[in-house]
Amino acid sequence: MANPDVSPRPARWPRRLAVAALLVGLLLMSVFAWRAWRQHDYQTRLATGEIQVDTLRGWMTLSYIERVHGVPETQLRQALGLPASGGGDLSLHDWFDAQGIDPLEGRKKVEALILQRRLAAQEPGR
């Protein structure tokens, strides 16, 4: 016969499962909130015309930058001190390595050209 003074022990796994599900949900919510905030921040900086060095990637080629940002490849080559022709398939990273250009300084030069181009496009009468 069972002892009436001893109550059966409640199962703990449903409670642990609920706590684990809550923690996973909070983690997922935090990750997606962080991603949404970063996207919003990026879009805000993009809308104001601000260009950050981190928006230029080492894999980008000169022709890609010309297509996306409208800066002629000849201007890019001149600003970076690159040969007038050849190496069309080389990325910024490859050009910087081949020419001994500091990547941060090279990106700043490209960034300055992009900003000049955007400011010129925003001038009235254009």
pLDDT tens digits, one per residue of 34-83: 999 998 887 787 677 666 656 777 788 899 888 888 889 999 999 999 88
Please state the pTM of the whole predicted model: 0.54
pLDDT digits (tens, 9 = 90+) for 66-125: 888 888 999 999 999 988 888 888 888 899 998 999 988 888 899 888 888 877 877 766
| Beta-bridge partners for 91 | 61
Interatomic CA distance for residues 124 and 118, integer angstroms: 12
